[in-house]
Chain A
Amino acid sequence: MKRNKHILFISAAVTVAFIFLNACKKEDAATKQPLAFSHLDVPSGWPAPHYDYSTNKLTEAGFILGRKLFYETKLSKDNSISCGSCHQQASGFSNQGHSLSTGVDGQLGKRNAPAISNLIWQTNFMWTGGVNNIEVMPLSPISNHLEMNETIANAVSKLQNDAQYPPLFNAAFGTSTINSQLLLKAMAQFTGMLVSSHSKYDAYTNGEIDLTTNETNGLNLFNQKCASCHPAPLFTNLQYINFGLDSIFNDPGRSEITGMAADSGKFKVPSLRNVALSYPYMHDGRFATLEQVLDHYSHGIVHSATLSPLLNNITPLSVTEKQDIISFLNTLTDETFINDERFKNPN
């Protein structure tokens, strides 16, 4: 009997807890911008993320640690630059105005620092897709001698010897002994949470607002001419194609990873979210403006053996068409995302 009472009490407690949690959840949903640190914002209608945190439990402490690490200059050899140096929130986590970015000792990187958002929907990372998991993404920029030029072992040791970090790792993972795995898992808790889904375009698809006539014309043109490689909601098909930039490839592109000549001059189709902020464009940042990019696709395609067949017979765009497409591309700017307090540099 006593046992029954016990069970009854537990059930009651669980029910109360459930009601309470549900109530919290409702409140979250009602708030337009989720402020929770460990709440993964999977927008309705989007596909399931490729990376789902099943092996890296998302927690507030993990996210806060990951954010601090993203902005941590100690991850570079001379403690001068962080991930956030070249991936700035105000420009959609890109390096606005820089074709190539400057690493330690004034070294210039090899390719344009891409804008970062919606990474958990991506299967591979970098312009050539050489990185196969969001968790191991930071290893390359940290260790690349043109970027942060630090060894992983040194980075871990610098954090271990910084009084701030052992307690933060303990809060996040239950141990103050830092290793590369915990460092990387924490960073993935931050970078994966960088979800951009509150642009004007999103408000339009949610039925909250209307687009202007120019933007609507631009959207229609975009759907006809661009969306096969840049489909919503991610605005990338995650494929590698030759965009028709060159006939001789100074940068071998995707073939560097696959070893196949058929992949020469191919690069990953970038997402267009926050594209108006993330200039300059292309893997080498050769185009300063969206006008230049559209001019390229309109009448600047260079033929070569691996050129995407989709770019073979392009009908040139009129001036008005270009303007309308650019009006539409501007609706992909996500003010909520670039101003989200959760993503700001805490240091």
Chain B
Amino acid sequence: MTAIRSLVSPRLDVKSLPQAISESIVRVVESDPPMIYVIPDRLVEVCRSLKETVGLEFDYLIDVTSADYLDQLEVVYHLHSVPRGHALTLKVELDREEASVPSVTGIWRGADFQEREVYDLMGITFTGHPNLKRILLYDEFVGHPLRKDFALPKEDISSQIG
């Protein structure tokens, strides 16, 4: 029985988050793990309290990724706590034209390459990142190919098919 119980991750109660975090939350989505939308400007403070508050202890950033919803962009952070076993999905909504969000490399060092990948493919700028340049594509590449409005130049397509 103990073995089975240890496989089920404890669930984080979003309502019990400290005020420093809850006042920066835009909205909460009930899911498993729970999902919170955060004001972009407050991201670093929220992440620092999520990592350092006793009882939360989100010491592990699983990944940083992004999505294009045409009217806006989203950056997604999947967090996990090794000592507590619970998880949290953290999102920020961004304007398509001026997509910029503070970097969390100062909190989780592992965000470095992940944020570079999001910058490379989705064109989201991470302010305060120590080395923000393309990571997958070559430096001469123009555009950010995972944006929905990205299109190959016509001559490229015709040369590929012909």
Q: Do A and B bind each other?
A: no
Which A positions have Cβ atoms within 8 angstroms of B?
A: none
Which B positions have Cβ atoms within 8 angstroms of A?
A: none
